Structure 1
Amino acid sequence: MESYLSSVIKQFQYYKQLGDKTFEQLSFEDLQNDISKDANSIAIITKHLAGNMLSRWTNFLSEDGEKDWRRRDLEFIDTYTSREELVMHWEKGWQCLFDAIASLHVTDLNKIIYIRNQGHTVLEAINRQLAHYAYHVGQIVFLGKVLRGADWQSLSIPKGGSTTYNDEKFSKEKKRQHFTDDL
């Protein structure tokens, strides 16, 4: 279970990094672009993710993950006035998550915590949030790719690059490592 905690931190870091690398490729106007009626812009998805993280991970072991101070519906209204404000909120959410997970011990993983009064083991709650954040970061990356078009810099193996990538990987000795260690 120690390896679970270190692995899940790396997974969360990976998804944060995908978001960070997407933001780097986009202007503030791109981040605010809701590409169609009723679509969420990257700014809105970011606001929702940060709001969720702050709610879920603040006092993670001792309070319900849906805080009474959270205003979820307002997360879907873009109020950011600058790229810096958006990134600061994104960073604040992730820092709350990483601080909470770093404080956990293996003995905490089977404890019960609540999200909207639904009991979860800590392990289940972490997995729930990992899947939720991966879903939304995937949306962020996809929108970034759509907005940048041919100027998009791939965040994974580029189209047509699988053979080169695999040749490089298979040219090395087998070893135990997390897939994000080379990123």
Structure 2
Amino acid sequence: MPADYLASARKQFAYYKLLGDQTFAQVADEQLFWQPNPACNSMASIVKHLWGNMLSRWTDFLASDGEKPWRAREAEFDNDLTTRAAVLAQWEAGWQCLFAALDELAEADLGRTIYIRNQGHTVLEAINRQLAHYPYHVGQLVLLGKLLQGEAWQSLSIPRGDSVAYNAEKFARPPHQEHFTDEKLKR
């Protein structure tokens, strides 16, 4: 295993946080609460769910089960946040909790066992579990943003029609070692 796994995981999480940040910057306040239909979550509800999950999973990460007794998962899907400030406060609090826990870990911790709902995971597996879960929901946020903004949406990736130029620029440089998020996170 590479010695820089934790740094790489942190960059991955930061990248997905950035995609959410860039999505929120493109939508109006009232759009944070829009639901395409009653079976779908609003951006605010998705944020509330991520916040609840992050606080539960990353608080006391190495010492207590990741599904805390105080977590009210079902309530996370109630569309009861009413302001952009409230949505963004929960968004930031969840990520702050995650990054604080990651920053306390050492590579030697990766093989330790932690529990989520009484199921053992190595720390590495638990991190990977969340690296799959959070991008799933960030993708939902981005899709909602794209649906709401339509033609006004500013791409968060390589815009349509720009792939050839983008790749030409990348291949014009000599091969080098770089995390794929480094370029995006520097902006």
User: Normalising TM by the smaller chain, what interval?
Assistant: over 0.9
Structure 2 Cα separation of the partners of residues 43 and 159 of structure 1: 28
Matched residue, 1:90: 91
The one-letter amino acid of 1:65's match is G
Listed as ranges, the matches of 1:4-153 within 5 Å are: 4-153=5-154
The one-letter amino acid of 1:45's match is I
Q: Hey, which bits of structure 1, 4+ residues long, moved more than 3 A?
A: none
How far did 1:174 drift?
1.6
Gaps of 5+ in 1: none
TM-score between the two structures when normalised by the length of structure 1: 0.98
How far did 1:172 drift?
1.5
C-alpha RMSD of the superposition: 0.8
The one-letter amino acid of 1:121's match is T
Structure 2 Cα separation of the partners of residues 2 and 59 of structure 1: 24
The one-letter amino acid of 2:3's match is E
Q: Deviations over 1:69-116 (max 9, x none)?
A: 100000000221210111011000000000001100111101100001
How far did 1:164 drift?
0.9
TM-score between the two structures when normalised by the length of structure 2: 0.96
Matched residue, 1:177: 178
Q: Determine whether 1:155 maps to 2:165.
A: no
Number of residue equivalences = 183
How far did 1:11 drift?
0.2
How far did 1:28 drift?
1.6
Q: Deviations over 1:110-148 (max 9, x none)?
A: 110000100000000000011000100011101110110
Structure 1 Cα separation of the partners of residues 135 and 5 of structure 2: 17
How far did 1:171 drift?
1.4
Report the 3-state secondary structure (helix = DSSP H, G, I; strand = E; otherwise coil) of the residue aligned with 2:48: helix
Report the 3-state secondary structure (helix = DSSP H, G, I; strand = E; otherwise coil) of the residue aligned with 2:133: helix
The one-letter amino acid of 2:114's match is I
Structure 2 Cα separation of the partners of residues 79 and 33 of structure 1: 12
Report the 3-state secondary structure (helix = DSSP H, G, I; strand = E; otherwise coil) of the residue aligned with 1:2: coil
Gaps of 5+ in 2: none
Report the 3-state secondary structure (helix = DSSP H, G, I; strand = E; otherwise coil) of the residue aligned with 2:111: coil
Q: Percent identity?
A: 58
Report the 3-state secondary structure (helix = DSSP H, G, I; strand = E; otherwise coil) of the residue aligned with 1:6: helix
Report the 3-state secondary structure (helix = DSSP H, G, I; strand = E; otherwise coil) of the residue aligned with 1:160: coil
Structure 2 Cα separation of the partners of residues 151 and 106 of structure 1: 43
